[in-house]
Amino acid sequence: MLNDIERTLFHEQTILRRLDELATQITADYLGRDLTVIAVLNGSLFFMADLLRRIQLPLRLDSISVSSYHGGRQSAGVVTFEQASLPDVTARHVLIIDDILDTGLTLRAIRDRLLNEANPASIRICVLLRKEKPRAHELEADYVGFDIGNEFVVGYGLDFDERYRNLPFIGVLKPEVFSAPSPST
């Protein structure tokens, strides 16, 4: 796996130091409120686990599974919810946690569905990474780990073709990896 990485963007220690800051901010912002975290699977798993263990508040944890990418680097443009029902967040303050804000399609679909169907007291969005680019789907993140350029990244939960999620850092793949046949085919 390491041979496929062209360069590292954020080392594990850099990520964890930033999570300390984010967690401090979130803890202060939600003090005294009924917080429900909704993690968007699978990309946010590592981020969520490391961030939540730093938040010093009682909270409920739920998850939601959607797909907008189908293996490669291009979004399919349609968000499919994998489960029929939404988490029960009536009157609760919801913090949605996702790995990356790219076009905004996925998070906007999740936020709008929760707002329209689940009666939360509030909804905020927390992402580890935000791509700096004009966004086709208008959406602001309330908490952002790092801003990055408009390039495809892997590691720390982020995958290419379901690989590289378990790298402890975030990096950019060598261009030839994208054109190589997948090991599973």
Query: What amino acid positions are annotated as catalytic residues?
Result: 102
| Interaction of residue 120 with ligand XMP, rule CB under 6 A | no
Nearer to ligand XMP, 55 or 139 (CB): 139
| Interaction of residue 75 with ligand XMP, rule CB under 6 A | yes
Nearer to ligand XMP, 89 or 173 (CB): 173
| Interaction of residue 145 with ligand XMP, rule CB under 6 A | no
CB 153 within 8 A of CB 131: no
Kindly compute the dihedral angle of the four CA atoms of residues 17, 18, 20, 26, in this order, to the nearest 10 degrees.
180
Candidates 7-15, 28-36, 49-57, 154-162 — which segment interacts with ligand XMP by CB under 6 A?
154-162
Say how far apart CA 144 and CA 83 lie, in whole Å: 27
CB 154 within 8 A of CB 164: yes
CB 5 within 8 A of CB 152: no
| Interaction of residue 154 with ligand XMP, rule CB under 6 A | yes
Candidates 18-26, 45-53, 57-65, 103-111 — which segment interacts with ligand XMP by CB under 6 A?
103-111
Question: Distances in Å between the alpha carbon of 128 and those of 51, 92, 136, 156, 180?
Answer: 10, 23, 20, 10, 28
| Residue 1 amino acid letter | M
- The interface mask with ligand XMP, positions 51-70, x = CB under 6 A, is -----------------xx-
- 120 alpha-carbon distance from chain centroid: 20
Per CB under 6 A, the list member of 9, 50, 64, 102 interacting with ligand XMP is: 102
Sites for ligand XMP among residues 16-35 (CB under 6 A): none
What are the beta bridge partners of residue 155? Answer: 158
User: Given the rule CB under 6 A, which residues bind ligand XMP?
Assistant: 43, 68-69, 75, 98-106, 152-154, 158-160
